[in-house]
Amino acid sequence: MEKTKSQFLVLGAGVGGICSAIDLAETGYSVTLVEKGPRTGGIMPQLDHQFPDDHCGMCRMLPMVDREPGAQTCLKRGLSHPNIRILTHTTLTDLSGNPGDYTAVLTSVSRGVDALRCTRCMACIDVCPVSVLDAFNDRAGDRNAIYQPFFGNPEALPTIDWDNCTRCGECAQACPNSAIDLERVELTESVAPVSGVIVAGGNPLYDPAVTDLYGYGVLPNVVTATAFERILSGSGPFRGQPVRPSDGHPIRRVAWIQCVGSRNVMIGAGHCSSTCCMFAVKEALLAKKTLGSDTDTTIFYMDMRTYGRDSQRYRDRAEEESGVRFIRCRIHSVDPADDPGDLKLTYLDDLGQPGEATFDMVVLSTGAGVQKELPPLLADKTDQGAVVTIGPEAGLQDIRETVLRAHGAVSSLLEKLNMDSRAKTIPKTGRAGDKSVNRFMQQPVIQVLVLDNGVVKAPQVEWPAIEGRLERSPGNIFVNRLSIIDGKDLSLELETVLKETRGNRLLVVSNHIAGYRATLTKRFEEAGFSAPLVEWVDLNRNDVSMGTETIQPDAAMKPIQVALMRLLHKRPSRGMAQVVENSALVIGAGPAGLSAAVSLAEQGVVVHLVEKEISIGGNGPRIQDEHQRRPIDQLIVRAKGHPNISIHTGATLGALSGRPGHFEGWVVKENMEIPLSFGAAIIATGGTPAITEAYGMGKHPPLVSHFDFEKKVLDPRFAEDTLNTVVMIQCAGSREEPRNYCSRTCCVKALDNALRVRQLFPHARIVIFYRDIMTYGKSEELYAKARTRRIRFIPFNKSKPPVVRTEGDTVVVDGFDPVMGEAVHLKADWVSLAVGMVPKPIHDLCRLLEVPVTPDGFVHEADAKWRPVDTINPGVFVCGLAKGPLRADEAVAEGTAAALRALRLLNRTELAPQRHSAVVRHAICSRCYLCVDSCPYGARFVEPVLGQVEVDPVACQGCGTCASVCPNSATVMGENEDFTVMNVIEAALM
Amino acid sequence: MEICTPDNTTSSILQSAPRRPVDSPTPLCLSCGTCSAGCPITGQSGFDPRKIVQMVLAGRDKELVKSNLPWLCTLCGKCEYACPMGINIISIIRTARGLVDRDKVPGQIHKGVELGLKTGNNLGLPQEDFTFIIEDVGEELSAESGFEDFMVPIDKKGARMLHTLHNKLVNTQNEDLVHWWKIFHVASESWTIPSVNWEGVNWGLFSGDNDAMKTFVDRIAHHMQALELSCLMYPE
């Protein structure tokens, strides 16, 4: 880890806030993460599962390279990073000064609980007489007015909900350690200098209590999607045994109502909330998993917006394999059914026939609520460039979009402040030659620090007996006891011990240590004991103390023996630190690649921009709309003129070797081979319009792709002809196998084209056949505009697409209008097909870069939601059409995000090897290479000269997959090898 | 069948149907099904409110006016209440009714409007019969203890409230009249019933006949002015 004095403020600790804070911290800056609420994580701790893999995955935001300083277990339970200071219950109350040199004033509200005195016994929570609807469970459960804001984190401090606390004093009386102060106190501090501010305020969700249609708040079995996820959750109000809230009956039939609070101009919500469709599909599958596969799950929708690359297949599997029902009808209202608690919905089915169904629960897919306005304090400064918001203008975003926007915000902030952070970084601990590393190399000598906590009523321990046993244990062990007494500063005493000790490992044993950990970790770090050199034993844990007042030495020794054994077996990494080259290879000079290249170059990185075609710009120059094309044109100019960018056109990557931080290869150009070396590579190879034979494409001249149709419409000659009818057919050859993904851009392009035709021909008939209109977010307004301009929309099912045929010279489209219940025949002057996008062929390139490819030929990112522009190769990043369909402006944004991710790597002068990395015993390796194929991180490779398997200690995450597939036990897991693990287990069983 | 109307077809219904309850353009309709899902008579004889909106948007006025679809609706307004696009579904249906030849308006409604226009009430009850019934019921009430001084105030200038009547209260259920009157009496309300044009039901609303509707409203407005009244009780 490297650090500078530059410090940033991140406001809001949801997904966007945490992501940008980690980005800044990992790029080498210190961050103050400010959160108004009681905890970090935003909505994430409330949700257990995410599309597409049905895991949480939040921890995937944590660093994968040089990750030791940021190592922790679960982001839902809190965040810790040496470069990030977290302030909850805190708001920004003033910001003055100039970009790069702001002074911020932060106001914190006390929690009412003293972190050092509280032993987390929770007696306060047990006695609190106040019961309020729990926002964490989205009102599907209760909590007290003093509560623990993090579920499942035993070290998290309880906090008082000042709005609901009656100051009755029961909690203060019950607290054995006088840790509770019922006076609400506001503390103000000033932070300076602050280089820049990222505002990640998040989006509030629509509150369905404001409408009487769905019975929310009146019918207890009508809940929001968030509340339903809480009901299903093991940490929710029913502790994983979900039942119907009204009467505890089993939940057998569940309906989802989409677009609650969205796509409704009557409530001023003309937008689509973008996230709710996939949320509902995921939740329906989750319901089947939790409540039984025979649970009746029905989603009532208008358009299933499966516009993500992997979403359509997920939805199809839900329908075809898991039996989730999809009914295209917006629900009017929810009525109580005859049986108490049951709910009745009426609807129209696909044939327009009225239907009625009864459900145990109805889930409201609530979208974005009213966006909070940026306070004037910040709004005034957004023009200055050093106050950046994470896309509130785009409305509610899913995790992937939020993460991308967070990366983009950090990138643009650094770019605007012209931060060449590498030049300013100063080395910190953890590097070769420093004290911690040297200590690791030595034979273990253990310094035990017994911290006797006399401040709180912690269990009593017979310390002399423990100390005696420790001193008699085998190995070099030294013991010192220090007392934590109220008002007494540990500093001096501790400093002396740390200074004079002969130990090179630390074991901390205490009868109560929560609250002191962070401070002590920092002190140890400063004294040359980095985190891996320290083990902690807190005897005031329920698995040890069992709630008793005294702990017997036998009971205390068990966890101590385990910790000792772990310390004795701790090893330094066997790999070498790798030097990082401050240069990058960007493959593909389309909108995404240009954006990445310019962004990196602006931040002092030398960029080799390689383009296969003879000119740069990719699809950019072919964008017909001038307004959309201009930013790309500007990027072309900037790239061409940038001193840090060298452009190789008509060139491809010929060969590659090396590891993240230092690659070597050459580009092939006109039979010349130009050698290159670089620290990171960004794939931005782009895509092209798909070629399809659907609907007889290519056979009839009036049948054209929507790209070609756009060109025709923009040609001035188009207006000179007569025109009666234009038919557009969406999803031609896409959203069904083998190309079963949404190309995301076609619906908007169809609407643009239709509106252009309407402008030229006010009386033409324009009909769009569609499956689901994918106007997510604000583009929903374009769909509304098209309707008011009398564009006619006719939905069709993929099993019954319209038919295109010829009658003499005329092209005729036969379809069926399900609303009118009648056939439609249209003689068309033009039929425009939305053919979708396909990626450029990238298999060879991806093989060189050791990056996997999806079945559709897109680059497979490391994680679709949490690491959208990373690949499993820590030195390779991806953006733009190469990894999935998107608009040009989205490609530009992704390019910036990929640049930031690469910068996190390139900003380091060297990469420390992972301590938990695998090692190969070459003598017994049979070279079957099973491990190379099975490594999920691409950290294994075959060394070309000797043919032996090598491990990249930077990329290796120590997961152990290799060790488990190796038939010869030729792979060992560093300090987690069998010998160590067995010893630790034995110590625990002794 | 072929869509024989291009999209720009002018639909007179679309042109003339007032945009209510909000000024939202009818083509904004999403065909989402909210109206149809909530409508109490969707599916009865092929009724489907979103289909009616789509017919109008396609300029198929004639077809709609010729069908019995507009007359199946109860005008309850449940559809409009939830419509996310604020489409004027009720106005469209009323406007379509207005375009139907008057002799094709369903019998009961047609007859009621005709009689109402001619006689001042939908039953065609002569004025002397009306006065007789009202006074008779009033006399019966004055026989009850506590109401000895009760008299029906007819055409009382300068009273506070105009009391219009639902015709069925006069015809078949006139015993229900006294419930109102008892309340007025006990509350010492100053009120009056007009001797002519007392009809409290405006069937112009249901027949889609805006002129008739206006005539009925004008009559009440006239009473209010002529009798110098400030408050109106309108039973439907």
CATH number at residue A156: 3.30.70.20
Do residue A764 and residue B1 have CB atoms under 8 angstroms apart? no
Contacts of B55 in chain A (CB under 8 A): 820
Same domain for B164 and B188, yes or no, is yes
Predicted pLDDT at A423: 43
Handedness of CA A650, A652, A654, A657 (dihedral sign): positive
Residue A760 belongs to some domain of the structure: yes
**Residue in A725, A763, A819 nearest the CB of B50:** A819
φ, ψ for residue A703 (rounded to 5)? -95, 110
Residue A227 has pLDDT above 80, yes or no: yes
Residue A567 belongs to some domain of the structure: no
**Residue in A333, A348, A789 nearest the CB of B36:** A348
**Residue in B37, B42, B58 nearest the CB of A331:** B37
CB B206 within 8 A of CB B170: no
Same domain for B52 and B155, yes or no, is no
Residue A26 belongs to some domain of the structure: yes
Retrieve residue A651's tokens: 């060139």
Task: Tell me how far CA of residue A228 lies from CA of A256, A346, A653, A747, in angstroms.
Answer: 10, 22, 50, 32
The counts of H helices and E strands in chain A are 25, 52
Q: How far is B213 from chain A (nearest CA, A)?
A: 29
E strands present in A81-169 = 84-87, 90-98, 101-109, 131-133, 142-144, 146-147, 159-160
Do residue B36 and residue A329 have CB atoms under 8 angstroms apart? yes
Residue A4 has pLDDT above 70, yes or no: no
Do residue A329 and residue B38 have CB atoms under 8 angstroms apart? no
| Interval A240-294: pLDDT, tens | 899 999 999 999 999 999 999 999 999 999 999 999 999 999 999 999 999 999 9
Could you count the other beta carbons within 10 Å of the beta carbon of residue B113? Answer: 25
Range of the domain at A516: 435-544
Same domain for B41 and B137, yes or no, is no
Task: Tell me how far CA of residue B134 lies from CA of A113, A846, B171, B198, B199, in angstroms.
Answer: 77, 94, 10, 12, 14
A374: confidence class by pLDDT, cuts 50, 70, 90: confident
Same domain for A198 and A216, yes or no, is no
Side-chain-side CA neighbours of residue A23 (13 Å): 31
- The SS3 assignment for B71 reads helix
Report the C-alpha gap between A963 and A942 in whole angstroms.
16
* Average pLDDT score over residue span A555-561: 92
Predicted pLDDT at A71: 55
Query: In chain B, positions 37-76, which contact chain A (CB-CB < 8 Å)?
Result: 37-39, 42-43, 48, 50-51, 54-55, 57-58
CB B12 within 8 A of CB B61: yes
A428: confidence class by pLDDT, cuts 50, 70, 90: very low
Range of the domain at B159: 107-233
Do residue A787 and residue B55 have CB atoms under 8 angstroms apart? no
B76: confidence class by pLDDT, cuts 50, 70, 90: very high
Q: List the single range of A367-371, A489-493, A763-767, A944-948 with lowest mean pLDDT.
A: A489-493
| Interval A142-189: pLDDT, tens | 999 999 998 778 778 999 999 999 999 999 999 999 999 999 999 999
Contacts of A348 in chain B (CB under 8 A): 33, 36-37, 42, 48
Same domain for B78 and B111, yes or no, is no
Residue A674 has pLDDT above 60, yes or no: yes
Same domain for B165 and B78, yes or no, is no
Q: How far is A765 from chain B (nearest CA, A)?
A: 5
CB B94 within 8 A of CB B75: yes
Same domain for A658 and A722, yes or no, is no
Contacts of A333 in chain B (CB under 8 A): 38, 82
Q: Which residues contact A352 (CB under 8 A, 6 or more apart)?
A: A818, A819, A821, B36, B48, B51
Same domain for B115 and B210, yes or no, is yes
Predicted pLDDT at B116: 95
Q: How far is A718 from chain B (nearest CA, A)?
A: 20
- The structural domain count of chain A equals 7
Task: Check residue A724 and report its DSSP letter.
Answer: -
Share of chain A above pLDDT 70, in %: 96
DSSP string, A31-87: EEEE-SSSSSSTTGGG---BTTTTB--GGGGS-SSS-GGG--S-GGG---BTTEEEE
Q: List the single range of A25-39, A58-72, A219-233, A731-745 with lowest mean pLDDT.
A: A58-72
Residue A539 belongs to some domain of the structure: yes
Predicted pLDDT at B172: 84
DSSP string, A273-340: -SSHHHHHHHHHHHHHHHH-TT-EEEEEES-----STTHHHHHHHHHHTS--EEEE------EE-SST
Q: Which helix (H) or strand (E) holds A794?
A: strand A792-795
Q: How far is A796 from chain B (nearest CA, A)?
A: 13
Do residue A265 and residue B24 have CB atoms under 8 angstroms apart? yes
β A792-795/A910-911 pair status: unpaired
Which residues on chain A place their C-beta less than 8 Å from a C-beta of chain B?
Answer: 213, 259, 263-266, 302, 328-333, 345-348, 352-354, 724-725, 762-766, 784, 787-793, 795, 819-826
Task: Tell me how far CA of residue A446 lies from CA of A293, A825, A943, in angstroms.
Answer: 54, 86, 39
Same domain for B43 and B133, yes or no, is no
Of the candidates A362, A223, A279, which has an alpha carbon nearest to the alpha carbon of residue A49?
A: A279
Same domain for A700 and A789, yes or no, is yes
Residue A426 has pLDDT above 60, yes or no: no
Same domain for A260 and A391, yes or no, is no
Residue A769 has pLDDT above 60, yes or no: yes
Same domain for A16 and A103, yes or no, is yes
Q: In this predicted model, which residue has the larger pLDDT, A395 or A609?
A: A609
CATH of the domain at A452: 3.40.50
Residue B127 belongs to some domain of the structure: yes
Q: By CB neighbour count within 10 A (0-12 exposed, 13-18 middle, 19+ buried), where does A181 fall? A: middle
* Average pLDDT score over residue span A825-847: 96
* Average pLDDT score over residue span A511-515: 85
Indicate the angle between helix axes B210-226 and B107-119, nearest 10 degrees: 40
| Interval A54-63: pLDDT, tens | 888 898 898 8
* Average pLDDT score over residue span A860-865: 94
**Residue in A332, A762, A766 nearest the CB of B38:** A332
Locus of tokens 């579904």 = B89
A880: confidence class by pLDDT, cuts 50, 70, 90: very high
Q: Which residues contact A613 (CB under 8 A, 6 or more apart)?
A: A649, A650
Report the C-alpha gap between A514 and A532 in whole angstroms.
19
Residues B222/B225/B227/B228 CA torsion (nearest 10 deg) = 160
Residue A563 belongs to some domain of the structure: no
Residue-level length of chain B = 236
Q: By CB neighbour count within 10 A (0-12 exposed, 13-18 middle, 19+ buried), where does A829 fall? A: middle
Report the C-alpha gap between A61 and A67 in whole angstroms.
11
Same domain for A53 and A103, yes or no, is yes
Q: Which residues contact A368 (CB under 8 A, 6 or more apart)?
A: A203, A204, A205, A206, A261, A262, A269, A271, A273, A395, A396
Residue B219 belongs to some domain of the structure: yes
Q: How far is B20 from chain A (nearest CA, A)?
A: 12
* Average pLDDT score over residue span A404-431: 69
Residue B110 has pLDDT above 90, yes or no: yes
A955: confidence class by pLDDT, cuts 50, 70, 90: confident
Contacts of B14 in chain A (CB under 8 A): none
Q: In this predicted model, which residue has the larger pLDDT, A47 or A439?
A: A47
Report the C-alpha gap between A63 and A79 in whole angstroms.
12
Report the C-alpha gap between A201 and A390 in whole angstroms.
8
Query: In chain B, positions 77-106, which contact chain A (CB-CB < 8 Å)?
Result: 78-79, 81-86
Contacts of B38 in chain A (CB under 8 A): 332-333, 346
Do residue B82 and residue A333 have CB atoms under 8 angstroms apart? yes
**Residue in A265, A352, A821 nearest the CB of B84:** A265
Predicted pLDDT at A66: 66
Same domain for B23 and B135, yes or no, is no
Residue A259 belongs to some domain of the structure: yes
Report the C-alpha gap between A19 and A403 in whole angstroms.
6
Residue A330 has pLDDT above 70, yes or no: yes
Could you count the other beta carbons within 10 Å of the beta carbon of residue A499? Answer: 9
A624: confidence class by pLDDT, cuts 50, 70, 90: confident
- The structural domain count of chain B equals 2
Q: Which residues contact A640 (CB under 8 A, 6 or more apart)?
A: A616, A647
**Residue in A266, A763, A820 nearest the CB of B84:** A266
| Interval A7-21: pLDDT, tens | 999 999 999 999 999
Q: Which residues contact A976 (CB under 8 A, 6 or more apart)?
A: A916, A958, A960
Locus of tokens 């949700």 = A47
Retrieve residue A450's tokens: 């017994």
Residue A427 has pLDDT above 50, yes or no: no
Predicted pLDDT at A2: 41
Same domain for A404 and A295, yes or no, is no
Do residue B36 and residue A354 have CB atoms under 8 angstroms apart? yes
| Interval A891-934: pLDDT, tens | 999 999 999 999 999 988 888 777 778 889 999 999 999 999 99
Residue B7 belongs to some domain of the structure: no
Q: How far is B37 from chain A (nearest CA, A)?
A: 4
Same domain for B115 and B206, yes or no, is yes
- For residue A677, what are the β-bridge partners? A664
- For residue A96, what are the β-bridge partners? A103
Q: How far is A243 from chain B (nearest CA, A)?
A: 28
B130 Rama sector, left if φ>0, alpha if ψ -120 to 50, beta otherwise = alpha
Which domain-ending residue is among B100, B123, B142?
B100
CB A705 within 8 A of CB A838: no
Locus of tokens 């002794």 = A990
A950 Rama sector, left if φ>0, alpha if ψ -120 to 50, beta otherwise = beta
Contacts of B24 in chain A (CB under 8 A): 265-266
Locus of tokens 């409508």 = B39
Q: How far is A220 from chain B (nearest CA, A)?
A: 21
Q: How far is B92 from chain A (nearest CA, A)?
A: 17
How far is CA B182 from its chain centroid? 27
Residue A487 has pLDDT above 70, yes or no: no
Contacts of B79 in chain A (CB under 8 A): 332
Retrieve residue A131's tokens: 């019961």
CB A556 within 8 A of CB A575: no
Same domain for A101 and A162, yes or no, is no
Residue A980 belongs to some domain of the structure: no
Residue A420 has pLDDT above 60, yes or no: no
Same domain for A259 and A348, yes or no, is yes
Report the C-alpha gap between B125 and B115 in whole angstroms.
9
Residue B82 belongs to some domain of the structure: yes
Q: Cis ω on the peptide bond leading into residue B194 (within 30° of 0)?
A: no
Residue B6 belongs to some domain of the structure: no
* Average pLDDT score over residue span B21-50: 94
Same domain for B228 and B129, yes or no, is yes
**Residue in A353, A788, A790 nearest the CB of B8:** A790
Q: Which residues contact A815 (CB under 8 A, 6 or more apart)?
A: A769, A794, A796, A802, A803, A823, A824, A826
* Average pLDDT score over residue span A530-536: 88
Query: Which of B14, B34, B81 has the highest number of chain A CBs within 10 A, making it the mutation to test binding with A?
Result: B34
Contacts of B84 in chain A (CB under 8 A): 259, 263-266, 330
Same domain for B228 and B112, yes or no, is yes
Do residue A819 and residue B54 have CB atoms under 8 angstroms apart? yes
Contacts of B42 in chain A (CB under 8 A): 346, 348, 354
Question: Which residue of chain B is at minimal alpha-carbon distance from A782?
Answer: B28
Report the C-alpha gap between A138 and A363 in whole angstroms.
12
Query: Which of A211, A213, A304, A330 has the highest number of chain B CBs within 10 A, making it the mutation to test binding with B?
Result: A330
Same domain for A160 and A232, yes or no, is no
Same domain for A804 and A851, yes or no, is no
Same domain for A517 and A665, yes or no, is no
* Average pLDDT score over residue span A525-531: 87
Same domain for B90 and B197, yes or no, is no
Question: Which residue of chain A is at minimal alpha-carbon distance from B46?
Answer: A353
